[in-house]
Amino acid sequence: MVVPPQDNAFSKLGLNDALAFGVTEMGYAEPTPIQTQAIPVILSGKDVIGSAQTGTGKTAAFALPIIHKLGSHGKMRVLVLEPTRELALQVEEAFQKFSKYTDITATVVYGGVGYGKQRDDLRRGIDVLAATPGRLLDHMEQGDVKLGDIEILVLDEVDRMLDMGFLPDVKRIIQKCPQARQTLFFSATMPPELAQLSSWALREPVEIKIGQRRSPAETIAHAFYPAVASQKFDLLIELLRRTDFKSIIIFTRTKMGADRIAHRLQAEKHSVGVIHSDRNQRERVEALQGFKDGRFEVLVATDIAARGLDIAGVSHVINYDVPENPEDYVHRIGRTGRAHASGDAFTLVTEDDVRDARSIERFIGATIERKKLDGFPYVYSALFDEKALAEAAAPEKPKSRLMRGARR
Ligand code: AMP
């Protein structure tokens, strides 16, 4: 198909007709702020350090100008490193979609599956490779792929790659890329360790910050639901019953917790997928795919699924367990309210969680409303007593009445 000349917000950013047409066909009307800022800079060839909250349209912000710069099919000139298999797959898919009206090709390599198909795909000759670091190094060692023609290197979710201990692998990979290249660095947070890596890997980067890095998307409505631990599951069931949801992700702290909740929800006749790191790659893909195509209305997940996964139309996120790390709260609820859609984020809070709940509020710089379900047969909890709560959260009183007892 010949794409007609385009005159829209995306072509005005300098993108060619094939791309500007493709994204409008995908339903993008206006570029998001990170796209408006990053696309012209990337097109100009400069290095970029981008910090953007999840769901801001970051993938298109780098993929669109990259495809534009590639022009037409040739050698493998682009490498995108991702911390997890799911993200690598998702980025490859995004490249495929955006390239629909071009002849640019992309593939993906990640661990946990056989080498054969990936090797064939690599040898077939592609323009863009999305990869997790460990599997890419394996392929490099086996001579399946060389990085000598890389012109653009993207390090995505860099803070996460560091958290997962990928720094040595990432450095080895960067060293194999030509020095004359464009490097794009994206990270939700910018901890100090990243400064060293970026000063080594980037040249005079342009910094792009989108909004307050810490705040979750503004389209999300938050609520805390206080409860005693023994009523959490009943409260969850009641919340599901009273919520008009399309698709919902429930986060637990532990893998066992995820399996347990999933079984109990199945017993309550909900269709449920489960995703955590003890499930094999096939099971994870199946759960995610089933959730994406609507076979599962509920996905139960540990934090492995919390970062970056882009699932359209997630209407609700429920934190069955309060995340220990406030950053994870922002990542978890980033699964809903993506791009411009709105979503709800509910968090069940027990007495043991008071401090973690408070640190989430401090982290996002807002108070989250406490809600009670009318008519639910609540067992009394000191959580319903605001004064006792304030006392519990006060840092100078380490052993308050509420904080007694073993924490998980
Ligand atoms: P990302 O932050 O890259 O994971 O993107 C989040 C979601 O926003 C994805 O579903 C994208 O398809 C969608 N998206 C990205 N850019 C736009 C845009 N300009 N308009 C509408 N949706 C977008």
The predicted-structure confidence for 357-383, as pLDDT tens digits, reads as follows 998 988 887 888 889 988 899 887 777
The mean per-residue pLDDT over the stretch 41-67 comes to 91
Q: What is the pLDDT of residues 255-301, one digit of tens each?
A: 999 999 999 999 999 999 999 888 888 888 889 889 988 899 999 99
pTM given for the model:
0.65
Q: What is the pLDDT of residue 196?
A: 87
- Report the nearest atom of ligand 1 relative to the CA of 26: 12
Check if 11-209 and 220-406 are the same fold. Answer: yes
Q: Is the pLDDT of residue 397 over 50?
A: no
Q: For the chain, give every domain's residue range.
A: 11-209, 220-406
| φ, ψ of residue 151 in degrees (nearest 5) | -105, -30
Lowest model confidence (mean pLDDT) among 119-128, 199-208, 271-280? 271-280
Task: Identify the CATH assignment for 220-406 out of 3.30.1360.20, 3.20.20.100, 3.90.950.10, 3.40.50.300.
Answer: 3.40.50.300
Instruction: List residues near ligand 1 (CB under 6 A).
Output: 28, 30-32, 35, 55-60, 310, 312, 338-339
Residue 224, φ and ψ in degrees, nearest 5: -100, 135
115 token code pair: 């080498």
Q: What is the mean pLDDT of residues 232-237?
A: 95
Distance 57 CA to ligand 1 centre (A): 4
Looking at ligand 1, which residue's alpha carbon is closest to its atom 4? 55
Long-range Cβ pairs for the range 170-176 (8 Å, 24+): 170/81, 170/133, 170/197, 171/197, 172/137, 173/79, 173/81, 173/133, 173/136, 173/137, 173/140, 173/147, 174/200, 174/201, 176/140, 176/146, 176/147, 176/148
Strand ranges inside 47-98, DSSP E: 48-51, 78-81
Which residue lies with its CA nearest to atom 15 of ligand 1? Answer: 57
For 143-154, the pLDDT digits (tens) are 999 999 999 999
Nearest-5° angle of CA 241, CA 242, CA 247? 70
- 304-341 pLDDT, tens per residue? 766 667 676 788 899 999 998 888 888 888 777 655 55
**Could you tell me the distance, in angstroms and rounded to a whole number, from the CA of residue 338 to the centre of ligand 1?**
7
Mean pLDDT score, 227-244: 92
Average pLDDT, the chain: 87
Query: Could you tell me the distance, in angstroms and rounded to a whole number, from the CA of residue 55 to the centre of ligand 1?
Result: 6
Structurally, what CATH architecture does the domain formed by 11-209 represent?
Answer: 3-Layer(aba) Sandwich (3.40)
- Residue 356 contacts residue 322 (beta carbons within 8 Å): yes
